[in-house]
Structure 1
Amino acid sequence: MRKVVYIIFLMSIVLLVAFGTSLETTKKANFILDTKTKFFVAGKEVKIQFTSNLQATVPQLYIVHSYGKTLIQGTNKNGKLTFKLPQIYSNKTGIVSWFLIFNEEIVTQGVFEITPNRNKQTKIENYLGPRSILAGGKQSTMMVAVPTDGLDNPVIENTPVLIKNQFFNNITIDARKTKNFIAWKNIFSDRQIGKILFSTECKNIVTKEIDTEVCPNIASNFSIHFTRNHEFADGNQITTLSTSIIKDQFDNIVSDGTLVTFIIINQKSTILKTFGTTIKGIATGQLLHPDHPDLYTVKGYITGISESNSLFINYKPILSAFNFTFSDQNRTITVGPLKSFMNQLVPDGIKVTVKIIHENKLVATLQEDSSNGITTFHILADFYKAKNYRFEITTLGITQKSQLKYYDLNQ
């Protein structure tokens, strides 16, 4: 009997609580904002409190923060409603809008601000660019400093920042104030080349140095010259083309690796090229001597930027005439020995051509390379069946003609 009475008592209490909660959700609710603070410090606890006539029901607080949006479930202690902002939100600065929601309706709303924590150690992020500029004072690099508190929030507006830069013996310290989270300064190049070093300081916190390279400006016009062992067209030696020390308009030597193109035009208007890259401002190119007398016109270019003077290089013939003989019933032609300007044998590989002519018509052109000054040609009967031929032999720019040669077709 006592157990039945106890169960009935418990059920009555549950029904009373449920009935009371039902009444709270239907009666008109009043909410008074107790938290009058409009500013909170980042990293510290942020609470929004209300006084309400609700004793059990807890509405929700909707938060709109620069970090995101969320619904906060609060607590209700005898009509005192408390909503605590999550730590991830309270660590970040910015304007926070809140909306108190009861029975799916906004019953009140407001805003507050989370400000940077001045007690946290300041940090500075530096950004510098471009990291290379041309000398002359027309190009600049920008130093941007972003000071933050220990929670990575930008410091308050107008916080002083010292921007320092050094170039050779000049050290400049410029005080700037943050605006829109940053402090910045443009630094223009000098007429000289070198490195500009930068660092920043804010609230006695200093940064490491970073640098921008001041590079030579575009090259000015330059001159070229040549050197060679001799002036003969032997097809063997090398002529070396060299530039003067190439500089910009501010007398700075151009960067190593600047490409110089040497354009060579011969007497037949054939265009040749050789290239060189600068080392300490000087570029060199190499040019093989022709195997015949010629006059080269040479000019150097840094494409689209600058050019050199014109240079004329004359190559003299190494011989005025050469020997050639016929043997084996005129079927073998021996050219040479070819001798050079000191009466020495020419280098191996000198080209010799023979034009075979019949009745003033070119039949064939044969070409061979010399070896030990000698070149041999064979006029094969299976291919050349006419009774007579005339020959024109050319080497090292010299052409000599043979007499008409007769052939026995029975041989």
Structure 2
Amino acid sequence: MYQKYKKYLWGLLALFLVAGMAAYFLFFQSKNIHSTQSNRPFLYQFSLPSYLYAGSKLSIKLPENAPECQLLLNSSWGTWWLTPSKNEFVFPDSVMMQSGLLELNLFTNKNLIAEKQIFIRPLQPSEPLETFLGSKSITADAGEHWSMITAIPTDKFINPVKKNTPVQFDFYRPSGAIETYNIPTKNLVSYKKIYSQQKVGKTIVSVKAAKALGKEKELLEIPGYPTSFNIESDELYLFADARQYFKLKTSIIKDKFGNAVSDGTLVAINIKDTDGSERQLTSYTIGGIARLMIQNPIIAGTMQISAHIYGDVESNRLDIKFREAVRDFQVSYNKQTEELKVGPMIGSMGQYIADGAEVKVILSPGQKQLVVLVTDGYAKLNLKQEQKPIEKIIIKFAGIEKYINTQLEAKETNINDKRP
């Protein structure tokens, strides 16, 4: 009979053994779960939001029987350790003002027992809206050059606003047109290129985001490279007296779009004088026009004048013919008093030439040069103080050259020759 039920007894024994092991496992696993839950009091008993707005208040109250804990806060702005006060973690305002992901890690006895993530969202854009414009000026060349306006909207805690926050750009162009663009933020910023137009002037830039306004910005659109221009003269007194001046001015110097060049553009004026000498004068534009006063030459003849900008933008050439201001003059020298008298200096209309005209006197030997000013139609010079001997005196004025031989016996010598 034993042999008959032997296989049933072994089956029952195996069944009891499996049931016992299962009961043992369930009993101890239940204790472990209970123990772990007791070490995680607040995360299961207190629900925390998945996000909050910057500036919100947050605190975590621990149960009275909670073990001694510390809370580690990690964010993109830094790391903080919090200890509870009266069984409560109070989050600092400085932490809650900063947008971004905030990680909470609860420790007890250096063991991590709970963790949580909260996202701090930024508020709406606040004033003043930060805007940056560069460059400050561009050439008005129909879109070849551009500047850029950039806005960085932030909330009142200086947190960048959320992605795709709309930003409105308004441009008041020199042509009088108003352009409006709505550009959402991306990678914390919103920007718009400002392409040049053909008219010079100021582009006024306005930026707004939600209720936040930015400061007004100005973009200066300046003229481009100048084109060829003309020069002309007026107020001419066409006598070579080296005293009067005539006015030279340019036409309005423009770029290829018809804009007058910027004030202060340098214009170089090349002059070939009546004596063949060359010189260069400069002037600067005001309102697109450069003006210059040029002194009449001392020698009759043709003065050639041209102008250029940057060496390659050239004007026409003016040829101005000057007549003799004084056709002839007398020279006398008194050997006893050693006085030299030049004159009278009679002008083209039968008048004494203006006071202050310069007469050049050269004493030989030694070639000492003196300048004598005309007064009341005469230039007078006393040579008593000059180093002796003086053998010859050369007088030059208005292209006329005369000389006196002081070794002559005569007390007074009159020289009327135009050339030696």
TM-score of the superposed pair, with normalisation by structure 1:
0.77
* The 10-residue stretch of structure 1 (225-234 or 150-159) with the greater mean CA deviation from structure 2: 150-159
Pair 1:381–1:153, CA change in 2 (3 A): closer
- Looking at CA atoms only, which structure, 1 or 2, has the larger radius of gyration? 2
Please give the secondary structure, in 2, of the residue aligned with 1:88: helix
Residues 1:132 and 2:137 are matched in the alignment: yes
C-alpha displacement at 1:246, in angstroms? 0.9
Residues 1:44 and 2:46 are matched in the alignment: no
Q: Considering only aligned residues, what root-mean-square deviation do their CA atoms show, in Å?
A: 3.3
C-alpha displacement at 1:224, in angstroms? 0.9
C-alpha displacement at 1:335, in angstroms? 0.9
Pair 1:155–1:348, CA change in 2 (3 A): same
Please give the secondary structure, in 1, of the residue aligned with 2:160: coil
CA deviation profile, 1:305-344 (whole Å, cap 9, x unmatched): 7332333333322123210112244832211111111121
Residues 1:254 and 2:264 are matched in the alignment: no
Residues 1:74 and 2:93 are matched in the alignment: no
CA–CA separation in structure 1 for the residues paired with 2:406 and 2:176: 85
Instruction: Give the corresponding residue for 2:398.
Output: 396
Instruction: Give the corresponding residue for 2:243.
Output: 236
CA–CA separation in structure 2 for the residues paired with 1:221 and 1:66: 61
Pair 1:49–1:295, CA change in 2 (3 A): farther
Instruction: Give the corresponding residue for 1:346.
Output: 353
Pair 1:88–1:219, CA change in 2 (3 A): same
Aligned-partner residue type, residue 377 of structure 1: L
C-alpha displacement at 1:251, in angstroms? 0.4
C-alpha displacement at 1:62, in angstroms? 3.1
Please give the secondary structure, in 1, of the residue aligned with 2:94: helix
**1:164–1:172: 8 Å Cα contact kept in structure 2?**
yes
C-alpha displacement at 1:250, in angstroms? 0.5
Instruction: Give the corresponding residue for 1:375.
Output: 379
- Higher relative helix content: 2
C-alpha displacement at 1:352, in angstroms? 1.9
Instruction: Give the corresponding residue for 1:202.
Output: 209
Please give the secondary structure, in 2, of the residue aligned with 1:322: coil
Instruction: Give the corresponding residue for 1:21.
Output: none
CA deviation profile, 1:28-49 (whole Å, cap 9, x unmatched): 9944661554422212123456
C-alpha displacement at 1:95, in angstroms? 2.5
C-alpha displacement at 1:76, in angstroms? 6.1
Aligned-partner residue type, residue 244 of structure 2: Q
- Runs (4 or more) in structure 1 with deviation over 6 Å come to 49-53, 120-123
Instruction: Give the corresponding residue for 1:406.
Output: 408
Residues 1:269 and 2:269 are matched in the alignment: no
C-alpha displacement at 1:141, in angstroms? 2.3
Aligned pairs (5 A) from 1:17-96: 30-31=39-40, 34=43, 37-47=49-59, 54-55=66-67, 57=68, 59-75=69-85, 77=87, 82-96=88-102
Residues 1:117 and 2:129 are matched in the alignment: no
Residues 1:162 and 2:178 are matched in the alignment: no
CA–CA separation in structure 1 for the residues paired with 2:288 and 2:345: 43
CA deviation profile, 1:69-97 (whole Å, cap 9, x unmatched): 332222464xxxx4232112201212234
C-alpha displacement at 1:232, in angstroms? 0.7
Instruction: Give the corresponding residue for 1:25.
Output: none
Please give the secondary structure, in 2, of the residue aligned with 1:89: helix
**Identity level (%):** 28
**1:224–1:241: 8 Å Cα contact kept in structure 2?**
yes
**1:96–1:112: 8 Å Cα contact kept in structure 2?**
yes
Aligned pairs (5 A) from 1:312-351: 312-329=319-336, 331-351=338-358
Give the gaps of 5 or more residues in structure 1.
1-27
- Higher relative strand content: 1
